[in-house]
Amino acid sequence: MTASPAPARPETRRQSSDLSRLALAILLQCLWSAAADAQPAMFWFNDPVGPDQTVLVTGADLDQVTSVTVARIGDAQVREPGAPTIVPILQANPLSLKFVIPENFKPGIYRFALTHGQGSLDGRINLPTIYWLQGNLGDEASPDGWLQVFGRNIVRETSRAQLSMLPETGNTETKAVLTKGDLWRGTFRIPAQIPPGRYRLRLSNGDGGDGEWVDAGSITLRAPAPASSSSFDVRAYGANGDGRFDSTRAVRAAVDAAKEAGGGTVYFPRGRYLISDMISIPPGITLQGERIDLVNLVWPELESPPMALIQGTSRFAVEDMTIYASNHPHIISGGFQFGDTQAPGAGDIAIRRVRIRGSAFRGLMEPDATVRRMNEFHRAYVAAAPDTIRLSGNRIEVTDCDVLGSGHSLRLFKVANAVVSNNILSNGRYGAYSLVGSRRVIFETNTVTSADLQGSGGGITTLSKAVSASENIFIGGNSFKAIYGLDREAMTTDGPGGYYFGHAQTLAPDRLSLPDAPNPYPSSLDWTGAAVMVVNGRGAGQDARLKTLDNKAAPASITLDRPLAVALDQSSEITITQAQQNYLVIDNVFEDTGVAVQAYGTAIDHVIAGNRSTRSSGFAAFGLSYEQFQPVWRTQFLGNHILEGNVYRAGPERTVFSNEASILVRGNQTATGAGRPPMVQAVIIRGNRLDQDAHIEIKGFAAASPGVRDVVVEENTTGASREGLTIDRGVAWWLARKNVEERRIQK
């Protein structure tokens, strides 16, 4: 008689269950990896693209593609494309291929198919690619408010482009009204009668048929918060507008009264109001003058300046006045708790129609006094000078202002949903403007200049231990001029360092293990939101954002915000670095600056288009080891115009006094052996016009491990130049076609 087996103990059952789950996970992983590795995959292709223009496709195993067909999709209310046309495959390799849209096609939306032994990959060119949405209430909007959609191919045909709004809990469709639009942005007016609620958005850019509408995300509509009607006249609290009587106590008394009333407007009628200390603005209060040219707030020379002249944390505004100051700290500061620490709930801050004239060097200062004050600034401020306006938080507005201070004109730190428009921003000594670690920012129709020969320009950065990303920035229709100090950079990106550079292997489609050591000096303590870019080996060309980090056990692992299409193996290398993604630099004017637009370090999906440059060094993208492997990916230079290219000490080469301007792409590859990843990949340089003394230059330096790969140089016109089109041996898989070069000037 056989004895029955004893029942398993609970811990044995748990161990068995854990092993079963592990075995199942390994099996699923193997099946997923095998499926993912079995056929070609497509990661990205460039657009906008027209007839007889090149399409660059990046992916995996693309050398297995045997044919490419392209068809134009009709513009009538139909779904089916026209008959496909077979086109030649250009420069096919495992990571990329190129093909050209047939010359006889009309502009529009094109469907293409990459056929391989196991099937085909399909894509549609010139559909809207949505980068972000932004409403008049930030990530929300109001009935009768505005909504802007940013990205590529947003509006191609203004008479037919449409934005559909469908409530999530109903089926009554509403169409927003297009008020302004182009390839990069569409501005829509929301009908006033639409009910509040959550709405799904669908966008047609005007080309194609009914099948070419794309999902554009969702947005909540709500009524704006009502403004308080209470007004507190500073004269009723003892203020005197003669410019001599100290009105500090009276203004503070009016502010306190507004605070006790639950908010309101502290009103300054016509006059000159002497203030001798900081004015703190509680939430819900607006400082408002009668008119910008009728009301002056005047600070005297301050021996011991406070942290700021006007300071608040959230829900405040400053409007319709002029501010004068001599030895000053930050002039208007909002959203900070202390130092660069963002205050809880920071946001809803507006600076409107404010003129600032702050100069710590005002008057008959002796040279030694000037030097002492400069040294004081260097000791007091990390960035060597105070900020004229410094703001942090959600829903930020700076509009119709005229700003001049002793240092930096504007600093936006970790802002979201910001609008900076129609301002004059004049940088002072060692000054610049900066957008630090921010997202969803509209920076448009401003004039940026320097009021001091040592003042510079500025740009977008991640220069802070408190940020891991900067993304979704629109720089459009601005004028940058007369910038002579420091590096003279009109619009640059910056942010050295990173978190990890080394091998990675797939644990799940959205989870990777990190077997190598991380950066011992990470860019920030929190890795969340950083860019994860597969730069070498299996799966190279994919990217995602870091969602979570688990470093409690070795090896560390990360979770991504989306799954990777191709699994990574022991050959794969990644970089994890501060993300700089989706910058649209459109239709700006640059005159007498250093570099006009420069991507310095990490860049993903930037578009630099329609800009005009006179006596600047031009437009540049640098992939480099900037205290961490920082690549430039999928960046496009389209339709820019260099009118006058003779420059003097304008960079990007500091050692060269006088040089030609350029459209410059550089992968600063320092490796001399084979098999190292490129610093730059997937760059389009198309339709640019370089009138004189300017050229296109692409450098990857190392032939064994090219620093640059997959560049299309197409339809550019270059005038008389000493350099012409220059491509060195460190550039792989480049294609140049339909470029026009005038005569070379003898060197």
**CATH assignment at residue 153:** 2.70.50.70
Integer Cα distance of 12 and 132 in angstroms? 51
Question: Is the residue at 538 inside a domain?
Answer: no
- CA angle, residues 219, 224, 227, in degrees to nearest 5: 165
User: Which of 167, 201, 221 lies at the terminal end of a domain, its last residue?
Assistant: 221
Note whether 326 and 395 are same-domain residues.
yes
Rounded CA separation 658/631 (Å): 29
Rounded mean pLDDT, 611-629? 96
Q: How many CB atoms lie within 10 A of CB 579?
A: 26
Let me know if residue 35 belongs to a domain: no
The reported pLDDT for the residue numbered 228 is 83
What is the arithmetic mean of pLDDT over 88-97?
A: 97
Let me know whether 57 and 113 are in one domain.
yes
- Nearest one of 303, 309, 358 to 330, comparing CA atoms: 309
- 375 burial (CB, 10 Å; 0-12 / 13-18 / 19+) is exposed
What is the three-class DSSP state of 392?
strand
Q: Give the β-pairing of 447-450 and 424-427.
A: parallel
Reference 540, options 493, 573, 494, 576; nearest CA is: 573
356 found inside a domain? yes
The pLDDT confidence band at residue 12, using thresholds 50, 70 and 90, is very low
Which residues face 612 on adjacent strands? 589, 641
- Flag whether 247 is in a domain: no
Task: Report pLDDT digits (tens) over 539-593.
Answer: 999 999 999 999 999 999 999 999 999 999 999 999 999 999 999 999 999 999 9
Report pLDDT for 77: 61
pLDDT per position as a tens digit, 190-206: 999 999 999 999 999 99
pTM, entire model: 0.94
Name the residue range of residue 331's domain. Answer: 299-486
**Residue 293 domain flag:** no
| Same domain, yes or no: 481 and 609 | no
Instruction: Please answer whether residues 101 and 52 qualify as being in contact, where contact means their C-beta atoms are separated by less than 8 angstroms.
Output: yes
**Same domain flag for 59 and 75:** yes
Mean pLDDT, the chain, as a whole number?
92
pLDDT tens-digit readout, 465-515: 999 999 999 999 999 999 998 889 999 999 999 999 999 999 999 999 999
Residues 165, 86, single domain; the answer is: no
* H/E segment holding residue 383: none
Q: What tokens appear for 13 in the block?
A: 């059952």
Q: What is the pLDDT of residues 362-390, one digit of tens each?
A: 888 888 888 888 888 888 888 888 999 99
**250: in domain:** no
Q: Which helix H or strand E contains 380, and what residues bound it?
A: helix 367-380
Are 133 and 117 found together in one domain?
A: no
pLDDT of residue 69: 98
pLDDT for the residue numbered 80: 57
Are 99 and 137 part of one and the same domain? no
Residue 708 tokens read as 């640059």
The whole-angstrom separation of Cα 47 and Cα 152 is 7
Spatial separation of the C-alpha atoms in residues 222 and 123, rounded to whole Å:
37
Structure tokens belonging to residue 77: 């209310």
What are the pLDDT digits (tens) for 231-285? 999 999 999 999 999 999 999 999 999 999 999 999 999 999 999 999 999 999 9
Would you place residue 27 in the very low, low, confident or very high pLDDT band (cuts 50, 70, 90)? very low
- Are residues 356 and 464 located together in one domain of the fold? yes
Sheet holding 197-204, edge to edge: 129-135, 146-152, 185-189, 174-181, 162-167, 197-204, 214-221, 140-141
Q: What is the mean pLDDT of residues 65-83?
A: 83
Same domain, 705 and 721: yes
Assign 29 a pLDDT band (cuts: 50, 70, 90).
low
| Per-residue pLDDT tens digits for 309-357 | 999 999 999 999 999 999 999 999 999 998 889 999 999 999 999 999 9
Residues 315 and 464 in one domain: yes
pLDDT band at 296 (very low <50, low <70, confident <90, very high): very high
Kindly state whether residues 315 and 425 are assigned to the same domain: yes
Q: How many folded domains does the chain comprise?
A: 5
Residue percentage of the chain with pLDDT more than 90: 82
Shared domain for 344 and 462, answered yes or no, is yes
Q: Kindly state whether residue 69 falls inside one of the protein's structural domains.
A: yes
Backbone angles phi, psi at 419, to 5 degrees: -125, 120
Residues in the chain: 747
For residues 41-69, give the mean pLDDT: 98
Identify the pLDDT of residue 743: 74
pLDDT, mean of residues 426-449: 96
pLDDT (0 to 100) of residue 17: 42
Residue 457 near residue 488, CB atoms below 8 Å: yes
Tokens of 432: 């610049």
Asked whether residue 647 is assigned to any structural domain, the reply reads yes
655 CA to centre of own chain? 29
Q: Give 63-75 as a DSSP string.
A: GG--EEEEEEBPS
CATH number at residue 48: 2.60.40.10
